[in-house]
Amino acid sequence: MKEKNTDTVSTIVTKKYGTKARQREMLSGYLFILPFMLFLITFSLLPIIMTFIQSFQTGGTVGPRTFVGLQNYVKILTDRQYYDYLLNNFLYIIMSLPVGQFIAFGLALYLKKTSKLSPFFETVYFMPLLISMVAASMIMSYMFSVNGPINYLLEIIGIDAPNWLNKTETARIVIVILEIWKGCTFYIYIYVAALRGIPNDFYEVGLIEGANPWQMLRKVTLPLMRNSILLCIVMSTIWQLQLFDSVFTTTNGGPLNSTKTVVFAIYELTFKNNLTGLGAALSMLFLLVILLITALQLRLNKGDIEY
């Protein structure tokens, strides 16, 4: 019986054409990824290194800087307000992640079945993604303004309409709604792609076994969607941790800093308060937090490949 060839491509190239050929092959490969690597180093890696260096200095965007060791880190870790901003981030995650993913998954299940109206609905559901955050914030600000349509409807049914964006209790809710409305679209299409990728055989077997739709969902669809769901949860968590633009364009961190997030605080420290060292230190600490949370999520959701 012929033995199975387990050689890698580079081994095959080396065996057939020699070491020099392999080196030329590798060189071609590296040359092709060189532009992207240069871009990555210049616009990702270098800024991270520079930010790390700045985190040990005082000074502003203009003017000289002084090395101060860990002073900036100590200041951040001993100031309660930054923990409040981190708590805001977690509140946004807790409020938007389950609801957003549930809506996205539900709409994806609806879109999964193609029909004559599918292109229309797919276009409609995609529209929030096309609108800029500034435009989306203006829409939300109008919707939730004191004399806006939401309050009009609430008053019709006899509920006292609040000034949503001007009250600490309700301002966060508006931002969560904005984030869900704007972000949910993206996940819909990841779920649709994943749903359409599940072979029909599994559902046919389920039908033969007498499974009802709810059992199909629990026993077939969800397990086979696991990787996509994990991807969406991790991405959503990271994006909510990086929340800035919706806060900036809607409430500017107010009222009373109740909607402020860590990234907003980094922006304020660096560009408004002229404390680039503190802003850099907060960036570094927050990077660690994001990495930790992401690693934890991936670890908790580790599982076997389903197919």
Partner 1 sequence: MKAMKTLVSILLAGALTASVFSGCGKEGEGGTSGDAKSGETTKITFWKAPHASNEAELWQPVFDKFAEEHPEIELEFLVTPWESWNEKYSAAFAGGTPPDVSYMTEGFPNFVAAGQLEDLTPYITDELKDKYTDALWSSGEYDGVMARVPFLNLTSIVFYNKALLEADGVEIPQTWDELLAAAQTLTKDTDGDGKTDQWGYFLNHFTGEISIHQTAPYIYQSGGTFLNEDETALGFNNEEGIRGLRFVTDLMVKYKVAPALDDYSAEEAQQLFYNGKVAMFADQCQAGSAIKTNAPDLDFGAFQMPAGPNPDEAMSRANYGGNGGLSIASASKVKDQAWTLIEFLTLEENGAIYLKANNMLDASAEVSKEMWGDDEIMSVAADAVPSAYPVPTDPRWFSQVDPVIKLMIEEILRGTKDVETAVADADAQVKEILAQ
Min dist CB 21 to partner 1, Å, is: 7
Identify whether 255 is preceded by a cis peptide bond (ω within 30 of 0). yes
Select from 5, 19, 28, 200 the one that contacts partner 1 (CB under 8 A): 28
**And the tokens for 289?**
């937090």
Select from 58, 118, 227, 297 the one that contacts partner 1 (CB under 8 A): 58
Min dist CB 78 to partner 1, Å, is: 12
Q: Taking each helix axis from N to C terminus, what angle separates 80-112 and 226-241, rounded to the nearest 10 degrees?
A: 140
Enclosing H/E stretch for 122: helix 118-130
Q: Does 15 bind partner 1 (CB under 8 A)?
A: no
Q: What is the largest CA-CA distance in the chain?
A: 83
Q: Name the residue nearer to partner 1 (CB basis): 17 or 120.
A: 17
160, 150 Cβ separation under 8 angstroms? no
Binding-site size, partner 1 (CB under 8 A): 37
Q: Name the residue nearer to partner 1 (CB basis): 9 or 288.
A: 9
Select from 257, 294, 297, 301 the one that contacts partner 1 (CB under 8 A): 257
Min dist CB 172 to partner 1, Å, is: 15
Q: Which residue reads 């409609």 in tokens?
A: 124
Q: Which residue reads 């999520």 in tokens?
A: 297
Task: Using the rule CB under 8 A, give the single segment among 4-12, 27-35, 202-210, 218-226 that binds partner 1.
Answer: 27-35
Q: Which of residues 189-248 bind partner 1 (CB under 8 A)?
A: none
Q: Name the residue nearer to partner 1 (CB basis): 61 or 114.
A: 61
Least Cα distance to 186 among 113, 242, 104, 114 occurs for 104
Q: Which residue reads 């984030």 in tokens?
A: 179
Would you give the binding string for partner 1 spanning residues 263-292, x where CB under 8 A is met? -----x--xxxxx-----------------
Measured distance CA(31)–CA(44) in Å, rounded? 20
The rounded Cα 141 to chain-centroid distance in angstroms is 23
Measured distance CA(65)–CA(62) in Å, rounded? 9
Q: Does 166 bind partner 1 (CB under 8 A)?
A: yes
Select from 39, 90, 102, 121 the one that contacts partner 1 (CB under 8 A): 39
158, 105 Cβ separation under 8 angstroms? no
Min dist CB 294 to partner 1, Å, is: 28
Min dist CB 70 to partner 1, Å, is: 16
Task: Using the rule CB under 8 A, give the single segment among 35-43, 114-122, 128-136, 281-289 that binds partner 1.
Answer: 35-43
Q: Name the residue nearer to partner 1 (CB basis): 58 or 301.
A: 58
Q: Does 255 bind partner 1 (CB under 8 A)?
A: yes
**And the tokens for 251?**
């409430």
Q: Which burial class, exposed, middle or buried, applies to 192 when counting CB atoms under 10 A from its CB (0-12, 13-18, 19+)?
A: buried
Select from 1, 2, 5, 63 the one that contacts partner 1 (CB under 8 A): 63
What's the angle, vertex CA 9, arms to CA 306 and CA 41, rounded to 5? Answer: 80
30, 42 Cβ separation under 8 angstroms? no
Residues near partner 1 (CB under 8 A): 21, 24, 27-28, 31-32, 34-35, 38-39, 42, 58, 60-64, 141, 145-147, 162-163, 165-168, 254-257, 268, 271-275
